[in-house]
Amino acid sequence: MEKRRLGRTDLSVSKICLGTMTWGQQNTEAEGHEQMDRAVASGVNFFDTAELYSIPGKPETQGSTETIIGTWFKKRGRRDDIVLATKVVGRTNDEWFRGGRPSKLVRADIMDAVEKSLKRLQTDYIDLYQIHWPERDIPFGSNPTRVSEISPPLPDETPIAETLAVFDELVKAGKIRHFGLSNESTWGLMRYIAEADAGKGPRVQSIQNAYNLVNRTFEVNLAEACTREDVSLLAYSPLAQGYLSGKYDNGALPEGSRKQLFDRLQRYEKPHAREAIQAYNELARQFGLTPASFALAFVNSRPFLTSNIIGATTMAQLEEALASVDVAWTGEMQEAVDDLHQKVGNPCP
């Protein structure tokens, strides 16, 4: 498994990152352990989780995924072999993260989050600690294709410099090694970099944003910013929450799928999304590949990618995702994808 440098750090991470958010609801602890065993055996050294997980977020399962990873570390003794990434929530009115109050990106809340994550993960340090989403009032994902109005700063918005200073404390205390963002915009990324350059805290090493065939908005501005600033893209949702696997084609609703269980895939159900997804899945078949292999290989091929965060609920899905690194992405495939993208754009930002 190819390894790539994470930002400007001394860490090298596998091209495939094992996403974990289904562990604790769709997957049991034993299944999560099996996935970690198989991924590590294939050369994966990078796990991504969050205090929010498992998905969908709810009080009774919050933190369950970190707990499953922690029991695997304890049983296998492999902590030092893994680059571990987790996240603190951004602004939320959900009170179950902080024991009865809303959460923001302020010192008390970040400190509370990191201590709880360390305990669940059964580790003394986190390699990459990420902000799951901004505190600012902006569209989730932070890279819309259309904007009708810009929300003014919230009256109680936490300054980025203040948030970054907390991460500086955590680095100096040895609780985290590096800092990253998620669901962030180009403006947000560059503000964090500017504050770090001014000595306010650690430099951003990565950004975890959605990137797939029906959402290439990262390419518009973030690709240049990240390349010039040595910020790694950790691409999530490469299969568009399963739609680019083909399993929902023609209105299908497989038993046990996330759509059937939770009906929470609205990001990929916007106007004209179905037609675009169906077209990409048919294109994959024309090249003799499954839709999942094709969509994953596309993300793997991007020159600005550091790691592709895959997720699986079955071992067969995991095997296909791991094997995607061996799929040869051709110029003909890229030309066909770009031609289709010119027609359908980014229907699912």
Task: Tell me how many domains the chain contains.
Answer: 1
- Give the pair of three-digit tokens for residue 61: 């399962």
Write down the pTM of the prediction. Answer: 0.97
What tens digit of pLDDT does each residue of 143-195 get? 999 988 888 999 999 999 999 999 999 999 999 999 999 999 999 999 999 99
Between helix 331-344 and helix 273-286 the angle, nearest 10°, is 160
**Cα–Cα distance for residue pair 87/338, rounded to 1 Å:** 33
Q: Residue 90 pLDDT > 90, yes or no?
A: yes
What tens digit of pLDDT does each residue of 271-300 get? 999 999 999 999 999 999 999 999 999 999
**Nearest CA to 19 among 61, 51, 65?**
65
Q: What pLDDT score does 141 carry?
A: 92
What is the chain's mean pLDDT, rounded? Answer: 97
Q: Give the percent of the chain with pLDDT over 70.
A: 100
Q: What pLDDT score does 148 carry?
A: 86
- Containing structural domain, residue 283: 3-344
Q: What pLDDT score does 151 carry?
A: 87
Residue 349 lies in a domain: no
Q: What is the mean pLDDT of residues 12-40?
A: 98
* Residue 83: strand pairing partners: 46
Residue 264: pLDDT band (50, 70, 90) is confident
* Look-up of token digits 């996330």: 258
Residue 112 lies in a domain: yes
HSE, side-chain direction, 13 A CA sphere, residue 111: 8
User: Which 3 state secondary structure label does DSSP give 289?
Assistant: coil
Q: What pLDDT score does 48 carry?
A: 99
- Asked whether 349 and 143 are in contact (CB, 8 A), the reply is yes
Tell me the Ramachandran region of residue 314: left when phi exceeds 0, alpha when psi lies from -120 to 50, beta otherwise. Answer: beta
What tens digit of pLDDT does each residue of 213-246 get? 999 999 999 999 999 999 999 999 999 999 999 9
Q: What pLDDT score does 313 carry?
A: 97
Residue 210 lies in a domain: yes
Q: Give the percent of the chain with pLDDT over 90.
A: 97
Tell me, what CATH number does 191's domain have?
3.20.20.100
Residue 76: pLDDT band (50, 70, 90) is very high
Query: What are the residue numbers of the active site?
Result: 53
* Look-up of token digits 């690709």: 223
Stated as kind and residue range, the H or E segment containing 5 is strand 3-5
- Asked whether 182 and 87 are in contact (CB, 8 A), the reply is yes
Q: Residue 77 pLDDT > 90, yes or no?
A: yes
**Phi, psi at 43, each rounded to 5°:** 110, 0
Q: What is the mean pLDDT of residues 199-211?
A: 98
Amino acid symbol at 239: L
- Give the pair of three-digit tokens for residue 188: 């947000």
What tens digit of pLDDT does each residue of 297-338 get? 999 999 999 999 999 999 999 999 999 999 999 999 999 999
**Nearest CA to 315 among 99, 71, 36, 81?**
36
**Cα–Cα distance for residue pair 253/256, rounded to 1 Å:** 9
User: In 183-275, where do the E strands start and end?
Assistant: 204-210, 232-236
Amino acid symbol at 120: R
- Asked whether 98 and 60 are in contact (CB, 8 A), the reply is no
CA distances from 332 to 21, 171, 308, 337 (A): 34, 46, 22, 9
Q: What pLDDT score does 206 carry?
A: 99
CA distances from 174 to 167, 207, 294 (A): 11, 21, 40
